[in-house]
Amino acid sequence: MGKPTGFMEYEREVPSSRNPLERICDWEELYSTFSEEKLREQGARCMSCGTPFCHTGQIIRGSVVGCPLNNLIPEWNDLVYRGLWKEALMRLLKTNNFPEFTGKVCPALCEGSCTVSLNKNAVAVKSIEFTIIEKAFENGWITPRIPSKRTGKTVAIVGSGPAGLACADELNQAGHKVTVYEKADRPGGLLMYGIPNMKLDKSKVIRRIDIMKEEGIEFITNTEVGKDISADELLKNYDAVVLCGGARKPRNLEVEGRNLQGIYYAVDFLSQTTRSLLDSNLKDGRFISAKDKDVVIIGGGDTGTDCVATSIRHGCKSVIQLEIMPKPLMNRGPNNPWPQWPRVYSMDYGQQEAVAVFGEDPRRYCVTAKELIGDDQGNVKEIVTSKVEWVKDGNGRFIPKEVPGSRKIIPAQLVLLAMGFLGPEDDLLRQLGIERDERTNVKTKPGKYETNIQGVFTAGDMHRGQSLVVWAIREGREAASECNEYLMGR
């Protein structure tokens, strides 16, 4: 504990975001940098409390408490306060393969369970984490780590998202020959194409991939396992296989008019924009454009927010985000105590930009889509919505019930479905004969990662369902450990 009174002397500060009206004119990252002096003050706010929850990553009453990676947060907060940045980096890398990703896109579960946040604002853990790793890159502390010995064992990893990359990194450092298959044209999975550039600059993803290549990991892109290369071929050519293909099957909207033109899944909208941005700075026109359109986004999560921000950068005419759930409370409710993640109302970057451009929060709570109306050419032009109220059914579960007389017609020439995902795609799993659980995810024994097929493991969203990057990295690390034990017998 560097400064016992730090949490009383300093208030929480985080790097300021760029002005919304400025940043919507480009695709650059949202936040400015923070001075070393400010970060040391923020590190001093860490209480080094007797029983810290920030690093626990446990589930309490169905809600996550602390960091799933078990990051040694109090330790590197103290080291940053003392100006020992290289030592802080060593502690950070013990648990996290890619702090440059989590430091940008993680919602900071650690901050929700920070002891300071009981009656003050939490320690700025996320900002400190990201600054540690960026300072390491700037000072040349991050260099390729070439394994000194090779085991002669080969591993194929299907999918190059955060779970696949973490698993590949761990297995490569264990000395195995690792090959990563990715069906997209660039490695990175959702880090590359699922998260917009303004949240995670793709140069950071490319920088990490280049290091991993130098370390001996092979990336094979534009190759869909199960289609371009058979599952049998994979099993024959490798000593082990790890499935990290994500939960790519999007939830559909089952309403009249769904077959009209102008209705897209959010993942396609976002990925096409990023690909065109990387290929041609959007000059090739090979993306779904929101320019001059009334955009309606169905879904209120992070993906919906990304669609709001992307639509504004395209130059949309208007944007509305439909959320079937009620508006969150302004403060923790009695059923959401510390140290659980606080489920409270907040304005994310996309909503902030919508307020700056259109004068209001684009979210409409307790609203559901009932019908899509088209024009004479078969293009969507309007969406019929209805308000809902949440009532208990006969089993005591809350269900949405339509409010009579609340139907409303909203103009919409572009409708984006951001309602989450149902699970992994079927073809490869069917070819391999992989067992699925009741949610269609890949089934394993509790706390384990090997499937019903010997030598075939799984990790990430394909295993646990749609989740956070930080959970994907944790699962990738743990699956790698189990796979290594299988390969080496210890």
| Average pLDDT rounded to a whole number, residues 40-57 | 90
Q: Report the side by side order of strands in the sheet with 294-298.
A: 263-265, 414-417, 294-298, 318-323, 363-365
- Using 50, 70 and 90 to split pLDDT, how confident is the model at 1? low
Question: What is the per-residue pLDDT for 34?
Answer: 82
Percent of the chain with pLDDT over 70: 100
| Residues 462, 460: Cα–Cα separation, whole Å | 5
Give me the mean pLDDT over the 253-257 stretch: 95
CATH topology of domain 252-419: FAD/NAD(P)-binding domain (3.50.50)
More confident residue, 2 or 70: 70
**Residue 306: per-residue pLDDT:** 97
Mean pLDDT of 357-383: 97
pLDDT in tens, 200-216: 999 999 999 999 999 99
pLDDT at residue 59 in the model: 86
Average pLDDT over residues 118-124: 93
The answer to whether the 154-248+422-488 and 252-419 domains have the same CATH topology is: yes
pLDDT of residue 220: 98
> Domain-by-domain residue ranges, the chain?
6-138, 154-248+422-488, 252-419
SS3 for 259?
coil
Better pLDDT: 37 or 385 = 385
- Tell me, what's the pLDDT at 429? 95
Range 366-394 average pLDDT: 96
ω into 446 cis (within 30 of 0): no
**pLDDT score of 184:** 97
Arithmetic mean of pLDDT, 310-319 = 98
Q: What is the pLDDT of residues 433-470, one digit of tens each?
A: 999 999 999 999 999 999 999 999 999 999 999 999 99
Residue 60: is its pLDDT beyond 90?
no
Mean pLDDT estimate for the chain: 95
Sequence-ordered alpha helix ranges (H) in 216-301:
231-237, 266-280
What is the pTM for the complete model shown? 0.95
- Which of 192-196, 248-252, 376-380 is predicted with the least confidence, judged by mean pLDDT? 248-252
Indicate the SS3 state at residue 65: strand
**pLDDT surpasses 90 at 396:** no
pLDDT of the residue at 47: 86
**Mean pLDDT lowest among 11-15, 22-26, 260-264:** 11-15
Query: What is the torsional sign of CA 157, 158, 159, 162?
Result: negative
Which residues make Cβ contacts (< 8 Å) with residue 40, sequence separation at least 6?
A: 80, 81, 82, 83
> In this predicted model, what pLDDT tens digit does every residue of 331-355 receive, in sequence order?
999 989 999 999 999 999 999 999 9
Question: Residue 179: its pLDDT value, please?
Answer: 98
pLDDT at res. 64: 84
The Cα angle at residue 377 between residues 376 and 380, in degrees rounded to 5: 90
Q: Tens digit of pLDDT for each residue in 166-200?
A: 999 999 999 999 999 999 999 999 999 999 999 99
CA dist 172 → 11, 84, 138, 147, 377 (Å): 42, 29, 25, 7, 54
pLDDT-based confidence at residue 2 (cuts at 50, 70, 90): low
Q: What is the pLDDT of residue 32?
A: 81
* Helix residue ranges per DSSP H, 28-98: 36-44, 73-81, 85-93
Work out the pLDDT band at 61, boundaries 50, 70, 90. confident
Residue 373 has pLDDT above 70, yes or no: yes
Instruction: Determine whether domain 154-248+422-488 maps to CATH 3.40.50.1100.
Output: no
Question: Which superfamily does CATH assign the domain made up of 6-138 to?
Answer: Alpha-helical ferredoxin (1.10.1060.10)
